[in-house]
Structure 1
């Protein structure tokens, strides 16, 4: 029977394949002697050292560790596995965690290992495997302290599977359990509230979603980045409810935090969303200039798709303010940057429809409305589909084409029933 390769042997093999000496591999972060000890399995590298070695050998951490025989103490192996999970190296952590689970020792509870495995599988999109591990935890008598987290993850699994009512059931139970606990873990509490709010948004309960977003903010357990994101989620929820004063308030709060973001792409994304939410409260031309500035930065970074989405929003602002020539110009710029099937093209066609109706070219206007409907149907964008479908039906009704207006409404009704059914909602 062939023996499994040790970690040291694996590192040595990759080093030789790359044509590096021990001195070259070690340069600048550890000694050549340490490399020698690691390769001969006389020294145990830390997680940080392993990451650097993998980087210098041009292999992933998972490639470096998959199928390796770890001759480590149980506790050391557990610490290494947890380090990988915290660093989001989920694929590399799974074999270590599975090995620990098979070894079965009282040093680390089986339930904790199952939870870490479930998280890894969930993050990698392996929902069936994640659900299996979570159900194993639920089946044990010792799992009560982990129950809120198990239910949170089960809610996430159901969400990924588009089983929204089940996701809501598990997440609401998670909230009940965490509120019953004597010592409430604030971080977990916030995650549950945020997941519940997002799910409620998906089923159209915007007012209830807003309540949970606000509760999460009151716990004050978020980074500036997460807080800015939550402010924007709230602004978008209130915007959909046509509560524009609250929408502007939270969009402004998000904007204040934007200067604290160190990630430029994140900052630009949040600025973009904030501008769109506040576009009705000031000079619309200033909003256009701000978005143009962001679009130019994306174009400089060769990110034409995101720039195209900016131009689509600029076109929308121009249309809302009756600047139809400018709306046409920016809509065409967006079309040049986006694929025909991109969800944002629905907005572009919606703008173009209004432009051509304004120019009394009803044939082109209706064609663009139909294109918008097709995209919104394909992308499952129910709220946008309703708005554009009703606009189309009103136009047909005004022209006296009642039969076609009725046909479109009937088609929309059937599509809505099918869409809700796919989300696990039966009317």
Structure 2
């Protein structure tokens, strides 16, 4: 379907007129060019002049002009509805625009506005679809900045949908585009690399996490600005801890703590301090870690459920490594009373308690903790935690004289591991 601009261009060429000739004495040739490419809409008076030179009646263009005016009015009304937080009504109006969009609108702007409305309404899959359209519009215009922002935004939404691997793919595409176009300076690159670093941490890809967080730090130094620097230092320290570069990990987490303290981010500082304890424990500096966490305990309110849970959890783990089993039971008991406890954390604590009960000869209590803990584990291939529960349960059976059950389970577990082609993290399967 021909637009107003296309109709004017066709008639001008039919009469062998240049844009300058059509514009002469009325407007500039540049304005005629914008009208023909639908980037500008002529007034009714201007349209009459153009129609006269093209030897047609102005009514020839009236329906096209009305359509453009109606669409523009609908768009302006939609923007007003967005400002008033009436997102569903705004989307309904935006959807009345002619698709594909007329050149009088910036497609990427409209798609972004619709995506934001869908996010506000909780329709995240629809938001992803709109951001995909932003990416397409960016590629069509060879607009790297628009494309990178589209990749970044769709990754954020996918992360909320817990589709982390797909989010990583989009963020990696954004990073690749930025690397291919080094002359384009975009501060959003900091967030892209920070997000990638977090994904790599979750995937236990420690080296990639380290590299992407280091790139994020380099970009922050280049751009300056208001970025969550503490989180980048915190993520980098976690990656370094897993790579057993403990001194460097401690240096980075201390930097993160200092940044949070300066910003008066009390909770952020507390979380980093707990991470510091984890680094000390992982480095087998148990007594130093214990002293450090105990000092934290007095500075955190008991009403802060999440932080107190983290402290109880960390203390229970440290007490295990220093053979203070009464301390493990006491701290795990306080942690298990917290309403905010995550299933994996609860399972880990119940495993510790089961091991202590086995050592104390309390098989019944151990089996009770094992069953409670196993119910918390997600279905799927056996994890190291699942294998650890199986190992403790076999120890219970051996203590109860049920050697045949222990042997049968070992054989079943071995068959399952072979069938899933998975090497167990815990290699000590005892019978």
| Smaller-chain TM-score bracket | 0.5 to 0.7
Say which is worse superposed, 167-176 or 333-342, in terms of deviation: 333-342
Say which is worse superposed, 335-344 or 145-154, in terms of deviation: 335-344
The Cα of 1:209 is off from its aligned counterpart by 1.9
The answer to whether the 8 Å contact 2:233/2:252 transfers is yes
Q: Distance in 2 between matches of 1:252 and 1:259?
A: 10
Out of 381, 394, 397, the position equivalent to 1:396 is 394
Q: Distance in 2 between matches of 1:403 and 1:351?
A: 24
The answer for the alignment partner of 1:269 in structure 2 is 271
In structure 2, relative to structure 1, the CA distance for the partners of 1:208 and 1:93 (3 Å cut) is same
Q: Distance in 2 between matches of 1:341 and 1:215?
A: 32
The answer for the alignment partner of 1:132 in structure 2 is 129
Where do residues 306-345 of structure 1 align in structure 2 (5 Å cutoff)? 306-338=307-339, 342-345=343-346
The Cα of 1:244 is off from its aligned counterpart by 3.3
Corresponding residue SS for 2:353:
helix
In structure 2, relative to structure 1, the CA distance for the partners of 1:98 and 1:209 (3 Å cut) is farther
The answer for the alignment partner of 2:410 in structure 1 is 405
Where do residues 234-253 of structure 1 align in structure 2 (5 Å cutoff)? 234-253=236-255
Q: Distance in 1 between matches of 2:190 and 2:80?
A: 26
Q: Distance in 2 between matches of 1:413 and 1:125?
A: 43
Q: Distance in 2 between matches of 1:76 and 1:368?
A: 61
The Cα of 1:340 is off from its aligned counterpart by 7.7
What's the CA shift string for 1:54-91, capped at 9, x where partnerless?
A: xxxxxxxxxxxxxxxxx99988986995xx6xxxx9x5
In structure 2, relative to structure 1, the CA distance for the partners of 1:269 and 1:128 (3 Å cut) is same
The Cα of 1:284 is off from its aligned counterpart by 3.2
Q: Distance in 2 between matches of 1:182 and 1:97?
A: 37
The answer for the alignment partner of 1:215 in structure 2 is 215
Corresponding residue SS for 1:376:
coil
Out of 255, 258, 261, the position equivalent to 2:260 is 258
The answer to whether the 8 Å contact 1:94/1:117 transfers is no
The answer for the alignment partner of 2:112 in structure 1 is 115
Q: Distance in 1 between matches of 2:106 and 2:244?
A: 50
The answer for the alignment partner of 2:295 in structure 1 is 290
In structure 2, relative to structure 1, the CA distance for the partners of 1:100 and 1:126 (3 Å cut) is closer
In structure 2, relative to structure 1, the CA distance for the partners of 1:234 and 1:350 (3 Å cut) is farther
* TM-score when normalising by structure 2: 0.63
The Cα of 1:215 is off from its aligned counterpart by 0.7
The Cα of 1:130 is off from its aligned counterpart by 1.0
The answer to whether the 8 Å contact 1:175/1:192 transfers is yes
The Cα of 1:158 is off from its aligned counterpart by 4.3
What's the CA shift string for 1:304-358, capped at 9, x where partnerless?
A: 4543343222222222221111221111112222368744312321331233234
The Cα of 1:413 is off from its aligned counterpart by 7.9
Q: Distance in 2 between matches of 1:179 and 1:101?
A: 36
What's the CA shift string for 1:386-414, capped at 9, x where partnerless?
A: 14524643773895623223434656788
Q: Distance in 2 between matches of 1:223 and 1:290?
A: 34
In structure 2, relative to structure 1, the CA distance for the partners of 1:121 and 1:198 (3 Å cut) is farther
The answer for the alignment partner of 2:19 in structure 1 is none
The answer for the alignment partner of 1:349 in structure 2 is 350
Q: Distance in 1 between matches of 2:152 and 2:142?
A: 14
In structure 2, relative to structure 1, the CA distance for the partners of 1:235 and 1:371 (3 Å cut) is farther
Corresponding residue SS for 2:378:
helix
Where do residues 407-422 of structure 1 align in structure 2 (5 Å cutoff)? 407-408=412-413
Q: Distance in 1 between matches of 2:306 and 2:248?
A: 31
The answer to whether the 8 Å contact 1:118/1:133 transfers is yes
Query: Is there any run of 5+ residues in structure 1 with no aligned partner, and where?
Result: 1-70, 418-427
Corresponding residue SS for 1:377:
coil
Where do residues 22-171 of structure 1 align in structure 2 (5 Å cutoff)? 99=93, 109-122=106-119, 125-140=122-137, 141-142=140-141, 144-145=143-144, 146-171=146-171
In structure 2, relative to structure 1, the CA distance for the partners of 1:252 and 1:339 (3 Å cut) is closer
The answer for the alignment partner of 2:384 in structure 1 is 386
Please tell me the root mean square deviation across aligned C-alpha atoms, in Å.
4.0
Query: Is there any run of 5+ residues in structure 2 with no aligned partner, and where?
Result: 1-71, 423-431
* TM-score when normalising by structure 1: 0.64
The answer to whether the 8 Å contact 1:158/1:164 transfers is yes
